[in-house]
Each structure stands twice: as C-alpha cells, then as structure tokens.
Amino acid sequence: MHLIQEIATAMMSPSKGILAADESQHTMQKRFALIGLEQNSENDRRYRNMLFTTAGIEHYLSGIILHDETIHQNSDNKIPFATLLSNLGILPGIKVDQGLTSLESSPDEKVSIGLEGLADRLEEYYSLGARFTKWRSVISIGDDLPTQDALKKNADVLAEYAEVAQSKKMVPIVEPEVLFDGKHTLARSGEVLRDTLQTLYKALAEHEVTLNAMILKTSMALPGKKSDTPLDPSAIAEETIAALRDTVPADVAGVVFLSGGQMAKQATSNLNAIAKLGVQSWPITFSYSRAIEEPVIATWRGDEANRIAAQNVLLQRLEDNVAARNGIYVPK
Ligand code: 13P
C-alpha cells in the first residue's frame, strides 16, 4: 500500500477503530499512579506488550498510535512494536506533536509545539514502519475563551503539520481537542466545536492539505464536566453531527472521536448514538485512549498474573466500540 489516500481509507476500514496508545511518559505516570505502579520505560514497555499481544485485536483495530518511546521498543519476543503491529495487519502510527505551551496573547490558553525538525523526525518514523501521524492541540472553553487568536494559532500549527506529514507520505490525524472541563452548556460546546473546525478547515485549505488523505480527530460536543446537565447520548450526537456537517468538507477521509475523559461506557454510548444518526459524508469511528485503556489498566495492575484478564477487558472494550461505530451497541 503506497498512496496515502489508500492508507487513510484503510485506517477507516468498516467495523474497525484506532487505538490511541500514544500516552507520553508524563501521562503514563498519571495512569500508573492509580494502580500504584512506578512509571519507567520498562513498565511502559511491559504495558504496551500486554496490549499489543492480545490475541484478536486485529479484528477490531485498523491502526494504533504509538509514542516516540514505544516505536523504539520491542515486544517480549524482541520484535519491534511497529513490526509486530504491521505483521498483524494493524497500521502503526505515531504522535508527533511535542506538547503544549502557553499562548503569549492569552496565557490561559495553549498552542501545540513540535514543528521544528518535524520533517526529519517523520523520515525516521517512516523508516521504523509508521504510516500515519497524529498531532493534538487543545482548545479550552471559558467565559471569554477560546480567543480568536487561540483558534487561529492552533489551526495554523495543525495545518502546517498536516502539510509536512503529507509531503512525507504519511497520513495526518489532525486533532484539535475541545476540552470538556468547565461549566458550559452542550449548545456552547457545539458552538466552540463549530468555530474550531471552521478555522481549522480554512487553514488546511490555505496549506493545500489533501482532504481525502487526512483524518480529523475531534471531540464530541459535550456539556462541561462541571455543568449540572446529565449526559444524554442522543442530544450529544445531534449537537456533534450538526457542528461537523456545517464545517467538515465531504472529501475528508474520515472522522474519528477522542474520548476526552468521559467514562468508558459513556464514550461508547455517545458514539453509538452518533452512528445511529445514519451515514454521513465521511466514515466515522473511534480513536480512544482512556475510554478503552482505563478499565484495562485497572485490571492489569502491572501484574503478569492479571495479563489474560486485562487482555479480555481490552477485547470487550474494542468489541463494544466497534458495535457502537456501527450503531448496534447494547450496554451490558
Ligand atoms: P482520549 O480518548 O483519552 O481523550 O485520548 C485520545 C487522544 O488521542 C488524545 O490525544
């Protein structure tokens, strides 16, 4: 498979999704703290080994996003993780942004960094087997946030990244995450999602990014975590799809959702409600980290004795989310 359009299409295979296993060491520290496990490179490796050697994941996953640390590591059997995944028919991807920094014009907001040296890093990742990339920016909702400057600066960085990725024959997953921290309403979240995506697609057009060789990774429109509004999957689905339909061009290869800190089953129910709204211009699937991995980590606890139990939890989370992307998820 050579054309990046073909890779993008394969990433959006029917009845599959993309696992975001690209947590930074800092994030792994937070995840492992919950199970009292020390974060170090060997524990990160053991954890990813457990995930990636789960028998049957290839039936549910078209791709897995790796972190820089992971793409340089090997399985227990000394096979580089990217090779192990390719051998299973799972496309290896790589997170390539290098985190966030405060925005000069608005210190409460962030802009993502990592463009310097990006082309060279992509060449190395390609040689290690990665065929797609991911870049995350964050947009915060507050009384006066997001500012136009935050929307524009993040859109410009994302678009420049996508242009570089495509020039290196790698599919960009472009992720402007609208955070759901705060007290905002569902309608306000939908409005910010619209503004974010409108600004993003203008920047992508300016950078002449090929739409059928890029994937949008987006948040759902959600009422803020601190608002009193209960999460209603059908209202969330309506608001989310309305915002996407207004802003995401039909040529885009696919739309994948992040889970953003929702409870695992909530993220699945919301995806199911989105799928039940019917076929859209672009295929839709999941690209969750926490909503898949949190229950897996809680079962694994760093102990080899829990490996099979944790792998069974992973398979169940994948099966449920694949059912949800097809609109046939029934919560148990
Ligand atoms: P969550 O599903 O935990 O939001 O993570 C997805 C992701 O890739 C964030 O960059």
Q: Report whether pLDDT(1) > 70.
A: no
Could you read off the pLDDT of 33-83 as tens digits, one per residue?
999 999 999 999 999 999 999 999 999 999 999 999 999 999 999 999 999
The predicted pLDDT at position 106 comes to 97
pLDDT at position 93, please?
Answer: 99
pLDDT band with cut points at 50, 70 and 90 for residue 186: very high
Q: What type of residue is 321?
A: N
pLDDT band at 2 (very low <50, low <70, confident <90, very high): low
Closest ligand 1 atom number to CA of residue 65: 8
Indicate if ligand 1 lies below 6 Å from the C-beta of 256.
no
Whole-structure pTM value: 0.98
Domain residue ranges in the chain: 2-325
Q: What is the pLDDT of residues 164-183, one digit of tens each?
A: 999 999 999 999 999 999 99
Residues 6 or more apart whose CB falls under 8 angstroms from that of 217 comprise: 134, 136, 173, 174, 175, 177, 255, 256, 257, 258, 287
Question: Is 135 touching ligand 1 by the criterion CB < 6 Å?
Answer: no
Please tell me the residue having the least CA distance from ligand 1 atom 10.
136
How does residue 310 score in pLDDT terms, banded at 50, 70 and 90? Answer: very high
Are the C-beta atoms of residues 257 and 219 closer than 8 Å to each other? yes
Q: What band does 229 get if pLDDT is binned at 50, 70 and 90?
A: confident
Residue 260 CA, closest ligand 1 atom number: 4
Q: Tell me the per-residue pLDDT of 83-120, one tens digit each, with 9 for 90 and over.
A: 999 999 999 999 999 999 999 999 999 999 999 999 99
Structure tokens at 75: 């399985």
Q: Is the CB of 9 under 6 A from ligand 1?
A: no
CATH for 2-325, options being 3.20.20.70, 3.10.129.10, 3.40.47.10, 3.30.70.2190: 3.20.20.70
CA distances from 123 to 59, 95, 132, 133 (A): 29, 14, 12, 12
**Per-chain mean pLDDT for the chain:** 97
Question: Measured between alpha carbons, how far is 56 from 67 in angstroms, rounded to an integer?
Answer: 22
pLDDT digits (tens, 9 = 90+) for 245-291: 999 999 999 999 999 999 999 999 999 999 999 999 999 999 999 99
Which active-site residues does the annotation give? 175, 217
How many Cα atoms are found within 13 Å in the side-chain-facing hemisphere of 220?
35
Containing 134, the helix (H) or strand (E) segment is strand 132-139
Please state the atom number of ligand 1 nearest to the C-alpha of residue 175. Answer: 10
pLDDT, tens only, 134-154: 999 999 999 999 999 999 999
Residue 31 Cβ contacting ligand 1 at under 6 Å = no
CA of 124 to the centre of ligand 1 (A): 24
239 close to 192: Cβ distance less than 8 angstroms: no
